[in-house]
Structures are given as C-alpha cells and as structure tokens.
Structure 1
Amino acid sequence: MGWDIQNLFRSHAWGIANSLHRRGLNNETAADLTQDTFVRVLTTPPPAASGNFNPKAYLYKISRNLGTNYQKREALITTVAIDDASVPEIADQKPSPEDIVHSRQCLLQTYNALAELPERTRQAFEMHRLGERTIAEIGEELGISTSRAWALIRDAYKHILSRVDAF
C-alpha cells in the first residue's frame, strides 16, 4: 500500500490536533504531537496490511498513544511556578568544582603555550590582547608593518588554540 503523506496530512492533521485538544492538551502540544504522529508514520511505516487497512484510523491511533504517553510523563513531573524576580535567588552563580579545575588547567595550558611562542610573536599578542592596543599601534611600536603585526597575532592565536583544551 502506498502512503501519500502530504495528502494524509492535509486531510487529517487538523482533525488529529483537534482530537488531542479535546483530550485535554493545549493547542501547542496538540500541534506538536500531530507532527510527531506523521513523523512516526514516516520513520516507522505500518506493517504490511490487508486490503481493508484504514490509514485514518492508524493515524488517530498513533496520535492517541502519543497523547496518552505525553500525559503520563507530565503527570510524573512536578512543576512550581515562580516569578522572574526569584530566579536569580535560586540559581547558584558559583562554578562547579569541575569547572574550576578545568579553567585552571586551561590557564596553565595558555601560560605554557605563550611561553613557547617566539619573543616578538608573544610580545605582539600580549600588546594586542592584554594591552588592548590596535594592530597599527603594535606595528608602529615593534617597527613592523600592520600586516606583519596581524600575522604575528594570528599565529599566536593559532598556536594557543592548538595547545589549549578549552572545550
């Protein structure tokens, strides 16, 4: 049997969403589950059926099962309504111990990577990144062209990124 998904969607999507809405789901959830119904049919088509197979009934059965599963999952979740002003009080702003260790390791790797750079490249990078100088200012101070200053800074960035496990 051939499935014309576009035709089935045009013919039955509104009815499926409406039936899910009547079962107590809000409009957005009903629309999402309607799409999930058709995705389910696309990814796992129905088994080979006899001559009297009813695609409409099959679609409604899938949507009903998805709706039931959704409602069961929602029943397990306890939600508490809070206002926007309370969120900063709840969230812990401190980094986790793992994040602290990782940050320290990255800093050490960065320090070591900077130490590996040639003197002029390191100096140009530090002037740009730490001294907040423009590339033209760096070129003028080091007595090189701006394109050469940019090349030194770019090389430093590449070197550091190759040595640091930032992620």
Structure 2
Amino acid sequence: MSWDIKMLFRRHALDIARSLKRNGLSEDAAADITQDTFVRVLAKPPAATTGTHNPKAYLYKISRNLRINQQKRERLIETVDIESDAAQNLADPAPSPEAVVYSRQCLAQTHQALAELPERTRRAFEMHRLGERTLNEVAQELEISTTRAWMLIRDAYKHLLARVGEF
C-alpha cells in the first residue's frame, strides 16, 4: 500500500475519529486529533522500511499517541467551564494604567494647544466643539460671518492636529 495521503484520509479518517470517540474524546477533539494525525504524516512521512508496512496501523498508532499526549495535558491543566455571561464579568472594564497615562498626556497636550490659540479662535472652537453649537450660532455670538466662524474653527483644528496629532 502506498502513502497516498488523500486516499488514506478518505479510507481511514472516519474510522480513526470513531475510534478516538470510543476512547472518551469529544467529537471536536477526535476530529482535531484525526487531522493532526494526517498532518504529522504529511510533515514527516515514515522512513522506508524493509518488508511489508501497514499504513493503517501506522495512522492508528499516531492517533493513539496524540490522544495519550492530549489526555496527559488535560490532567496537568485544570479547566473550569464558565457561562459566557460569567466570562464577560471576568474582564476588568477599567482602562489599563498605560491607557490612563496616555489619555492624560493627550488631554494635557490638547489643553496646552488650546491655550496657544488666539482668544477668538479658541472661543469659536470651544463653542462649536465643546458647546455643540452650530456654525451659525457661533457666528452670531461672536458677531462675525458664518464663513469667518468656520475659518476660525478650521484654524483651531489645524493647530490642534499639528500640536497633538489625530485625536
């Protein structure tokens, strides 16, 4: 019998998986080990031997060894099944210390960059961006045209991007 992997897979994969399931593995674990068996043969085919060689026996031997290795790993590692809702509660929703420091640095840079702006430009930007006012409302309060209000806000954005980067 030759080592035609496609033919061997078609002929023996289902039987190997069934054998693994009979030995206590779940369907997914049996499928994984069956696949690993053939990957192992693809990666390192058996050495040429003298006499008759039985590929089926060789595949079963590999799958049995992989099953034993997996069971040894499972005995070493304690696993606990948790529900998906419980798993979400395990993650800390608070930002990491690094993220907090980075955010504070960005905020300080932004505050400094805003302080560097001319008074009218800063007020127009703060009214529009922080006060959520429209360009028309900013223009009316500062007693300038809507186009001039837009230009002031645009200049503030350009300055902030140049000093702080994208935010």
In 2, Cα distance between equivalents of 1:134 and 1:9: 68
In 2, Cα distance between equivalents of 1:55 and 1:135: 78
Q: Rate the CA distance shift 1:16–1:108 in 2: closer, same or farther, 3 A.
A: same
Q: Deviations over 1:59-81 (max 9, x none)?
A: 21111111111112222333445
Query: Which residue matches 2:141?
Result: none
In 1, Cα distance between equivalents of 2:106 and 2:33: 48
Aligned residues: 151
Residue 64 of structure 1: SS of its match in structure 2?
helix
Query: Which residue matches 1:45?
Result: 44
Q: Conserved in 2, the CA contact under 8 Å of 1:21 and 1:27?
A: yes
Do residues 24 (structure 1) and 20 (structure 2) align?
no
Do residues 107 (structure 1) and 103 (structure 2) align?
yes
In 2, Cα distance between equivalents of 1:14 and 1:75: 27
Q: Rate the CA distance shift 1:24–1:152 in 2: closer, same or farther, 3 A.
A: same
Do residues 36 (structure 1) and 36 (structure 2) align?
yes
Do residues 143 (structure 1) and 142 (structure 2) align?
no
Q: Rate the CA distance shift 1:80–1:48 in 2: closer, same or farther, 3 A.
A: closer
Query: Which residue matches 1:74?
Result: 74
Which residue type is aligned with residue 91 of structure 1? Answer: L
Query: Which residue matches 1:165?
Result: none
Give the % identical residues: 44
In 2, Cα distance between equivalents of 1:136 and 1:39: 68
Normalised to the residue count of structure 2, the TM-score between the two structures is 0.61
Runs of at least 5 residues in structure 1 that lack an aligned partner in the other structure: 162-167
Query: Which residue matches 1:59?
Result: 59
Q: Return the offset for 1:125.
A: 9.6
Over aligned residues, Cα RMSD in angstroms?
Answer: 4.5
Q: Conserved in 2, the CA contact under 8 Å of 1:110 and 1:160?
A: no
Which residue type is aligned with residue 60 of structure 1? Answer: Y
Q: Conserved in 2, the CA contact under 8 Å of 1:125 and 1:152?
A: no
In 2, Cα distance between equivalents of 1:61 and 1:12: 13
Normalised to the residue count of structure 1, the TM-score between the two structures is 0.61
In 1, Cα distance between equivalents of 2:102 and 2:61: 53
In 2, Cα distance between equivalents of 1:62 and 1:136: 76
Do residues 159 (structure 1) and 165 (structure 2) align?
yes
Q: Conserved in 1, the CA contact under 8 Å of 2:135 and 2:150?
A: no
Q: Return the offset for 1:112.
A: 4.6
Residue 78 of structure 1: SS of its match in structure 2?
coil
